[in-house]
Amino acid sequence: MESALVSGLQGLFLGVLSLRPEHVIMIVIGSVLLYLGIKKGYEPLLLVPIGFGAILVNIPLAEMMGKDGFLRFFYDTGVLTEVFPLLIFIGIGAMTDFQPLLENPKIILLGAAGQFGIFLTLLLALAVGFDKLDAVAVAIIGACDGPTAIYVSSKFAPHMLGAVSVAAYSYMSLVPLIQPPIMRVLTTQKERTIVMGAIRQPVSRTTKIVFPIVVTIFASILAPKGAPLIGTVMLGNLMKESGVVDRLKSASENEITNMVTLLLGLCIGATMEADKFLRGQTLLVLALGFIAISLDTVVGVLFGKLMCLLTGGKVNPLIGAAGISAFPMSARVVQVEGQKYNKKSYLLMHAMSANAGGQIGSVIAAAVMLSVLQGMGIVGG
């Protein structure tokens, strides 16, 4: 009886006895993510489940990511198969209005310039010693697009998924702090005060319906490995614009996106096991992620300056900063900055065009990257 009691008590305290300092550190990190999400409002929809997942997976002996663990099931089913980010893309497409871009299509080029940070960061990541596919996963933080970052990193470097996702979502929420100083340094007072004319190019409903179909066909033919990314975003947008499948559209942007966001967040948190996350490499990922988003802004603004030059001063270079995928946060930042220097300047609609271009641009950049990697024989067909 006595030995049974001792054994029973040992079992009760086994978790406490197995607790190591690294577990405690990760539980604190998970709690910080919860704090940022709940108290500071930084991407709470993602940071709350990520933070909670990070806590759960670092409870000793709970084996949440063990062979039969409850988080392992969702991870294997939704993350390793890349299904979760693709389902979220359908929701994003259903929520996105491409009208500003359709009204002002030349602005889409800013959405391309806003992705250059991805490729420049790739070079930096290789320079500091990441291997090829790990460098690709780090660089994709520059897409400034959470689902794209998750899709690419789960495909090529699943062991880095936690660090890449946390960096991507954290920096996206910090866009209002990261971008303005760069915009100010790279532009002159005169450029910042440029007033851009109103856009008056209405778009027919047929164009809005045909747009996602032709983009899917042409962009997927040009970059076939990115067809799942492009196709899911455009499917969501087609459902929105067609107006005939309101139930599917509504389910995509609400129930499906909400459920998948919850499970995806938990799964990302579940990749933050102490022995995988507490490495010098994680700090490097966070630093390179910050550089990637900064470089996106730098190249976007410089491209805006080029457009300003080519149009004889009709384009305010500040809108180049909105060529990233953080929609519509980045467009709002541009509007606020423009108003600081000229109260008569209303850049919002132009910045929204660039921002919508950035949304397509991030998906296209990832698609191009995947296809080039396949062409180079780095990844299989």
Residue carrying structure tokens 């067909």: 381
Question: Which has the closest alpha carbon to 111: 79, 143, 66?
Answer: 143
Nearer to other proteins, 119 or 290 (CB): 119
322 forms part of the interface with other proteins (CB under 8 A): no
**Least distance (Å) between residue 216 CB and other proteins:** 11
Select the residue interacting with other proteins from 203, 251, 302, 379 (CB under 8 A). Answer: 203
Nearer to other proteins, 23 or 225 (CB): 225
Indicate left, alpha or beta for 194 from its phi (over 0: left) and psi (-120 to 50: alpha): beta
**Least distance (Å) between residue 38 CB and other proteins:** 37
Q: Exposed, middle or buried, 218 (CB in 10 Å: 0-12/13-18/19+)?
A: exposed
Q: Exposed, middle or buried, 255 (CB in 10 Å: 0-12/13-18/19+)?
A: exposed
Which x/- pattern, by CB under 8 A, does the window 162-201 give for other proteins?
A: ---------------------------------------x
Nearer to other proteins, 66 or 129 (CB): 129
Half-sphere exposure of 241 (CA within 13 A, CB side): 23
**Choices 76-84, 130-138, 177-185, 272-280; region in contact with other proteins by CB under 8 A:** 130-138
**Choices 38-46, 131-139, 274-282, 312-320; region in contact with other proteins by CB under 8 A:** 131-139
244 forms part of the interface with other proteins (CB under 8 A): no
214 forms part of the interface with other proteins (CB under 8 A): yes
**Choices 13-21, 212-220, 289-297, 343-351; region in contact with other proteins by CB under 8 A:** 212-220
Residues 81, 25: Cα–Cα separation, whole Å:
30
Nearer to other proteins, 309 or 372 (CB): 372
CA distances, 55 to each of 61, 150, 237, 268, 372 (Å): 13, 20, 36, 11, 38
Nearer to other proteins, 85 or 142 (CB): 142
Select the residue interacting with other proteins from 136, 172, 235, 274 (CB under 8 A). Answer: 136
- Total residues contacting other proteins by CB under 8 A comes to 48
Residue carrying structure tokens 């532009």: 187
- Under DSSP, is residue 29 helix (H, G, I), strand (E, B) or coil? helix
Q: Are 292 and 142 in contact (CB under 8 A)?
A: yes
Nearer to other proteins, 109 or 318 (CB): 109
357 forms part of the interface with other proteins (CB under 8 A): yes
Tokens of 133: 């596919």
115 forms part of the interface with other proteins (CB under 8 A): yes
| Dihedral angle, C-alpha 73, 86, 121, 181, nearest 10 ° | -110
Select the residue interacting with other proteins from 88, 92, 122, 137 (CB under 8 A). Answer: 122
Question: Which has the closest alpha carbon to 260: 252, 249, 250?
Answer: 252
Residues 150, 264: Cα–Cα separation, whole Å:
9
Residues near other proteins, by CB under 8 A: 101-102, 105-106, 108-109, 111-113, 115-116, 118-120, 122-123, 126, 131-132, 135-136, 201-207, 210-211, 214-215, 218-219, 222-223, 357, 360-361, 364-365, 368-369, 371-373, 376, 378
